[in-house]
C-alpha cells in the first residue's frame, strides 16, 4: 500500500477545505483530497451569499444576536462572537486578495436581506452564484500554491489512529483502485454535510456524511446530530432534482402561497416569509398537509421583473429551461434536506477530542449554529474556522508517526453497486418518512428498528467499498435517530409532534461517542 507523507492533510475541497489548505501552505506541505472533482461541494452550489456586518448601520452585535435568535438557545456565545467579529476581517482579507462581490451603481457593496436577519448584510457575487464564485476564487488561489498537492476522485475510507492520536487517513483512489496511506502531522476534516441521506435534498450526490461516519468510528465526539436543516424553498417538480430557490428570493419580497393561492406566513411569524428557516420549513410542511398537496407556491409576480432577472440570473436560467418564468409563473416549492447543523464536535480552534485531528465547515460542530443555522452564516464559518483550524494545527504539529500498522485495503466492486443504491434509497425513504421535518416517538422507534435490521446484515468485516459505504450510512442514520429520540422537545431543526414545546431543561448539547453513554454539554454563555 503506497504511503505519502505531508505536514497537513485536508480532506474535502469545499470552501472550508480550500481555506484550510490555502493557510496551511504557509506552514508546510499539504495534501488536498477530494472525493470528486475539486469544484464539487455544497459550497460551490451556495446561492444565497455570505453574511457579515459591514454596513454603517449594522454592527457585529446585531449579527451576533440574530445568530443566537435563529439558533434557539443552543449557540455557544463565544463561538458566535468569534464568527461575527473575525468574519469582518476575513471578508476584508478575501476582498483585498481580489474576490469581487456585487456592488450597486455607486460602487458600494450590495447587501441583501435573508430570513432571520434584522439588517441587510448578505454579500453576493454574480447575483445568486456566490458559492460558485467564492469557491472558484479560492480554488485558483490554492492551485497557485506550489506545496499543495491535490488528489481528485480520492475518498478517505479510514482515519489512521495510533495510541489515541490521528496520524492521517487511508484513502481509495477511484480511477486506479489503489489504496493510499496519507500520513500527516495534522489532519483536517472538511468533508461537508450529509443531506443526501434524505430522498429530497439540495446537496450534490457526494454529500453523504463520510467524514462524520469515519470520525465516529475512530472514537471522535459528535454533537447535536438531531438538527437537520430543511431549506424551505426547493423546486418541486416530478422527475426533477430539488433545485434550491435561494432564500434571497424571499429577501427581495417573494411571497409564499398555498395551492389555493392563499398567503399563509403572515399569521405564523412577525417576519412572515423572512422568518428563520426552521419556522418557514415547518409552516410549509404543515400547509402542504392541510391542503393535501406536495408543494406550495413561490410568487414574484408583484416584483420588478427586470431587477429580479438580473439579481437571480442562475435561478432564472434554470427555471427557464423548465419553461417556468420566475417573474410571471407560480414556482412550486417544498422543503428539502439542506444542511447538517450538528457534526464533529470541536473547540473554538477546530480541534476535536482526538489529538492531531481537526474539523471545519459543515462537518464540524463549532457551537456557532445552535439548533438552526442562520441563513448565509455557513460560508462565513468556512472562512473563519477554516483559518482558525490551521492556526491551532500549525502550533501543535505532531511528530511523524513511525508505526508499522497497515490497515486492510478497501476494494472497488462493481457487482455490489446496485446493492448499495438499493440500501441507500431504502434508508433515504425511511429518513424522509420518520426523521424528517416533523418527528414523533413512534416513527423514530420504527426507523431505529429498521436501521438496526440493516446493521445486522452488514456487521461482518468487509473489504468491499460499497459495503463500507452502507456501514457509513447506517452509522449516520443511527446517530441522528438516537439523538432525536433523546431530545424530547421541539427546537430549531428538530420538531417533535409529541413534544411540541421547547424545554429549558434540554438547553444543552447532546454528545455521542462510540462505546460511551450519551453525554450532555452545557451551552457556553458569554459573561
pLDDT, residue 478, reads: 97
Contact 39, 129 (CB under 8 A): no
Q: What are 388-414's pLDDT values in tens digits?
A: 999 999 999 988 877 777 899 999 999
CA-to-CA distance for 413 and 402, rounded, in angstroms? Answer: 32
Q: Does pLDDT of 527 surpass 60?
A: no
Q: Does pLDDT of 76 surpass 50?
A: yes
Beta bridge partners of 230: 337
Instruction: Report the share of the chain in percent with pLDDT over 70.
Output: 98
Q: DSSP strand E in 34-178: where?
A: 50-51, 111-112, 122-123, 148-151, 154-162, 165-173
pLDDT, residue 278, reads: 87
Across the chain, mean pLDDT equals 94
Q: Judge if 232-338 and 414-497+507-522 fold alike in CATH terms.
A: no
Q: Which residues of 352-376 are buried (b: 16+ CB within 10 A; e: fewer)?
A: bbbebbbbbbbbbbbbbbbbbbbbb
Domain residue extents for the chain:
232-338, 414-497+507-522
The residue among 185 and 42 whose pLDDT is bigger is 185
- By mean pLDDT, which of 40-49, 105-114, 188-197, 444-453 is the weakest? 40-49
Q: What are 310-348's pLDDT values in tens digits?
A: 989 889 999 999 999 999 999 999 999 999 999 999 999
Mean pLDDT of 218-242: 94
Mean pLDDT of 208-231: 96
> DSSP code of 379?
H
pLDDT, residue 24, reads: 98
Burial class (CB in 10 A: 0-12, 13-18, 19+), 470: buried
Record the pTM.
0.94
Q: What are 473-489's pLDDT values in tens digits?
A: 999 999 999 999 999 99
C-alpha cell at 23: 493557510
Query: What is the end-to-end Cα distance of the chain in Å, rounded?
Result: 52
Contact 151, 311 (CB under 8 A): no
> Which of helix, strand or coil describes residue 165?
strand
> DSSP code of 407?
P
Q: Does pLDDT of 526 surpass 80?
A: no
pLDDT, residue 46, reads: 65
Catalytic residue among 250, 277, 478, 487: 277
Q: Does pLDDT of 47 surpass 80?
A: no
CA 319, 322, 327: angle at the middle one, nearest 5?
40
DSSP letters of 61-94? HHHHHHHHHHTTT-S-HHHHHHHHHHHHHHHHHH
Nearest residue to 390 (alpha-carbon basis) of 136, 145, 28, 50: 28
Instruction: Report the share of the chain in percent with pLDDT over 90.
Output: 86
Write the CATH number of the domain with boundaries 414-497+507-522.
1.20.58.100
Q: What are 263-299's pLDDT values in tens digits?
A: 999 989 998 998 888 899 999 999 999 999 999 999 9
- Domain topology for 232-338: Flavocytochrome C3; Chain A, domain 1 (3.90.700)
CA-to-CA distance for 432 and 280, rounded, in angstroms? Answer: 18
Q: Does pLDDT of 28 surpass 50?
A: yes
Catalytic status, residue 321: no
pLDDT, residue 129, reads: 82
CA-to-CA distance for 352 and 222, rounded, in angstroms? Answer: 9
Mean pLDDT of 220-247: 93
Q: Does pLDDT of 450 surpass 70?
A: yes
Amino acid at each position: 500500500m503506497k504511503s505519502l507523507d505531508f505536514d497537513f492533510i485536508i480532506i474535502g475541497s469545499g470552501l472550508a477545505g480550500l481555506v484550510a489548505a490555502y493557510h496551511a501552505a504557509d506552514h508546510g506541505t499539504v495534501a488536498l483530497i477530494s472525493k470528486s472533482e475539486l469544484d464539487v461541494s455544497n459550497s460551490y452550489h451556495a446561492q444565497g451569499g455570505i453574511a457579515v456586518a459591514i454596513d454603517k448601520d449594522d454592527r457585529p452585535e446585531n449579527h451576533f444576536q440574530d445568530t443566537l435568535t435563529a439558533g434557539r438557545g443552543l449557540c455557544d456565545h463565544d463561538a458566535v462572537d468569534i464568527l461575527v467579529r473575525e468574519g469582518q476581517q476575513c471578508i476584508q482579507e478575501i476582498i483585498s486578495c481580489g474576490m469581487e462581490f456585487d456592488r450597486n451603481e455607486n460602487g458600494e457593496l450590495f447587501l441583501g436581506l435573508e430570513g432571520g436577519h434584522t439588517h441587510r448584510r448578505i454579500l453576493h457575487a454574480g447575483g445568486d452564484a456566490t458559492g460558485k464564485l467564492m469557491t472558484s476564487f479560492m480554488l485558483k488561489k490554492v492551485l497557485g500554491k506550489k506545496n499543495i498537492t491535490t488528489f481528485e476522485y480520492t475518498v478517505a475510507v479510514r482515519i489512521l489512529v495510533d495510541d489515541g492520536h490521528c496520524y492521517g487517513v487511508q484513502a481509495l483512489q477511484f480511477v486506479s483502485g489503489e489504496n493510499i496511506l496519507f500520513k500527516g502531522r495534522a489532519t483536517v476534516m472538511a468533508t461537508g454535510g450529509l443531506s443526501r441521506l434524505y430522498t429530497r435534498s439540495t446537496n450534490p450526490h457526494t454529500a453523504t456524511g463520510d467524514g462524520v461516519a469515519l470520525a465516529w468510528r475512530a472514537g471522535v465526539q459528535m454533537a447535536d446530530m438531531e438538527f437537520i436543516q430543511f431549506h424551505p424553498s426547493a423546486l418541486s417538480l416530478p422527475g426533477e432534482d430539488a433545485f434550491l430557490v435561494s432564500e434571497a428570493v424571499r429577501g427581495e419580497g417573494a411571497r409564499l402561497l398555498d395551492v389555493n393561492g392563499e398567503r399563509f406566513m403572515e399569521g405564523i411569524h412577525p417576519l412572515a416569509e423572512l422568518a428563520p428557516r426552521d419556522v418557514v420549513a415547518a409552516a410549509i410542511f404543515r400547509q402542504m398537509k392541510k391542503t393535501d398537496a406536495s408543494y406550495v407556491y413561490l410568487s414574484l409576480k408583484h416584483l420588478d421583473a427586470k431587477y429580479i432577472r438580473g439579481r437571480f440570473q442562475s435561478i432564472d436560467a434554470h427555471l427557464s429551461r423548465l419553461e417556468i418564468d420566475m417573474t410571471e409563473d407560480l414556482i412550486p416549492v417544498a422543503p428539502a434536506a439542506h444542511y447538517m447543523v450538528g457534526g464533529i464536535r470541536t473547540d473554538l480552534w477546530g480541534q476535536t477530542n482526538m489529538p492531531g485531528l481537526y474539523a471545519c465547515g459543515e462537518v464540524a460542530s463549532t457551537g456557532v449554529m445552535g439548533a438552526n443555522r442562520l441563513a448565509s452564516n455557513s460560508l462565513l464559518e468556512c472562512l473563519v474556522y477554516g483559518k482558525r483550524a490551521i492556526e491551532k494545527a500549525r502550533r501543535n504539529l505532531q511528530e511523524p508517526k513511525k508505526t508499522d500498522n497497515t490497515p486492510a485495503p478497501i476494494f472497488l466492486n462493481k457487482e455490489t453497486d446496485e446493492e448499495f443504491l438499493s440500501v441507500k434509497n431504502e434508508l433515504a425513504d425511511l429518513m424522509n418518512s420518520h426523521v424528517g421535518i416533523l418527528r414523533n416517538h413512534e416513527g423514530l422507534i420504527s426507523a431505529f428498528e429498521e436501521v438496526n435490521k440493516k446493521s445486522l446484515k452488514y456487521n461482518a468485516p468487509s473489504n468491499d467499498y460499497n459495503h463500507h459505504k452502507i456501514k457509513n450510512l447506517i452509522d449516520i442514520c443511527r446517530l441522528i435517530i438516537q439523538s432525536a429520540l433523546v431530545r424530547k422537545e421541539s427546537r430549531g431543526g428538530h420538531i417533535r409532534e409529541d413534544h411540541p414545546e421547547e424545554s429549558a431543561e434540554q438547553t444543552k448539547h447532546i454528545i455521542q461517542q462510540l462505546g460511551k453513554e450519551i453525554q450532555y454539554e452545557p451551552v457556553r454563555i458569554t459573561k
